[in-house]
Amino acid sequence: MSPQLTQNIITGDRSVTVNGRRFHYIWLRDNCLSPKYYHPTSFQKMCDISEVRAIPKPLNIELKDEKLIVDWDEDPPHRSIFPISWLMSHAYDDNQEDQPIREKILWDKAWLDVNPPEWVNAQSGDSQTWTNQLLTLGFTVIKNLPYQDLDKFVSSIGPVYYLAKYGRYSTVKAIPNAQDLSLSAEGNELSPHTDITFMSTPPLVQLLYCVENLATGGESLVVDGFRVARDFQQHHPEYFEILSKVPVKFEQFYQEWEYYVSRTTPIIELDKNGLVSAVYFSHKNFGSELPFEQVEAFYEAYKTFFSYLKNPAYQYWFRMEPGDCLLVENFRVLHGRKAFNPSSGLRHLEIAYMDWQYFAGREDFHRLKHLYELI
């Protein structure tokens, strides 16, 4: 087929360009939206592309009523119809800049001081408000959630991730002989960290629910790891490269349950485009095991990054009260606490972890369902 221009279409021998985005003919044939090849309720493909022996070729292509219509050179004849909006949402052309699926606001203390989040009241607030905050800021606080409603609320977010033998919830109180520093009888300070760095887990929503807080001290802290990583990269590119490339070990020893678990990963994880996709940081679980030649250079980078996380300019502090529910995007937002005095009163939190993909998946459903209604 000789190249030709028809409205916003440029046809070629193996692909067609629609509104500047290129689509291979074999991809179009494989993704045909005809009811014969695309199940009408599950929206799953029923076309077996392995049965296509040659590269599909169109007899005719036209743009009509905001739809791309392709008549294929097949016996019997077959027509594929693609809504342009559907095509644009599924474009895969590497020559085009990827558009972000959803905005992430990288914040520090100064940004939150100017744009203070609106904490939602569980009894009267709009759930979309806290959902949007969690998606964009990586954390949110829900107020006045009754303890008896906690289980129902957790289930509404997504499947619960069970950690070791803690069960559905981990109870955080000051106890003797604790298996985790967060449970220490001394009420130690916890520096900014992400949870479960020592295990390979899916992305998680972490919930910290305050049942009681009568102790002096113990104020809660959150830090946007993505904002810190961005600034860290700008000012210390050589250190950023070390933390994003050198794998290190995080470990946890559960003496009571007879588990030892560990995970090896760079502290800063990058996606295929070189953008920060996760931050794994927990000094209390950091085990290292670096090659001898890398230790000093690594620790220079590590200490500098740690100093960024402890910089008050990045830290947002608040006190949790009974009924408060803090949600964080684990592996993006780090959390911590100040030291508290256990003898001054009870401090009791319940911790749960939910699968982030289910939480985000529900929002993606509402964001994308109009595309499936076009089919």
Arithmetic mean of pLDDT, 70-83: 92
pLDDT tens-digit readout, 335-359: 999 999 999 999 999 999 999 999 9
Arithmetic mean of pLDDT, 237-262: 92
* Mean pLDDT computed over every residue of the chain: 90
Q: CB of 170 within 8 A of CB of 106? A: no
Whether residue 247 is preceded by a cis peptide bond, meaning omega within 30 degrees of 0, is no
Arithmetic mean of pLDDT, 264-273: 95
- Three-state DSSP class for residue 247: coil
**Residue 82: pLDDT band with limits 50, 70, 90:** very high
Every domain of the chain and the residues it spans: 4-96, 109-364
Overall CATH class of domain 109-364: alpha beta
- pLDDT over 50 (residue 5): no
- The answer to whether 4-96 and 109-364 have equal CATH topology is no
Percentage of the chain modeled with pLDDT above 90: 66
Instruction: Kindly state the tokens that stand for 155.
Output: 């289930």
- pLDDT over 90 (residue 104): yes
Arithmetic mean of pLDDT, 268-281: 95
**Residue 2: pLDDT band with limits 50, 70, 90:** very low
pLDDT tens-digit readout, 169-185: 999 988 877 777 777 76
What pLDDT does 114 receive? 97
Separation between Cα atoms, residue 135 and residue 131, nearest integer Å: 6
- Three-state DSSP class for residue 191: strand
Separation between Cα atoms, residue 148 and residue 170, nearest integer Å: 16
What pLDDT does 55 receive? 81
Q: Phi/psi zone of residue 295: left (φ > 0), alpha (ψ -120 to 50 degrees), beta?
A: alpha
Q: CB of 335 within 8 A of CB of 326? A: yes
| Long-range Cβ contact pairs of 287-293 (< 8 A, separation 24 or more) | 287/248, 287/249, 287/250, 287/251, 287/262, 288/248, 288/249, 289/248, 289/249, 290/246, 290/248
Instruction: Look up the pTM and report it.
Output: 0.85
pLDDT tens-digit readout, 22-47: 999 999 999 999 888 888 888 888 88
CATH of 4-96, one of 3.40.720.10, 3.30.2020.30, 1.25.40.80, 3.90.1170.50: 3.30.2020.30
What pLDDT does 313 receive? 98
Of how many residues is the chain composed?
375
- pLDDT over 60 (residue 95): no
Arithmetic mean of pLDDT, 273-281: 95
pLDDT tens-digit readout, 196-246: 999 999 899 999 999 999 999 999 999 999 999 999 999 999 999 999 999
What pLDDT does 98 receive? 47
Could you tell me how far CA 292 lies from the centroid of its own chain? 34
Arithmetic mean of pLDDT, 148-160: 94
- pLDDT over 70 (residue 127): yes
> Angle, to 10 degrees, between the axis of helix 356-373 and the axis of helix 127-136?
110
Q: Partners of 11 in the beta sheet?
A: 4, 16
Separation between Cα atoms, residue 102 and residue 114, nearest integer Å: 22
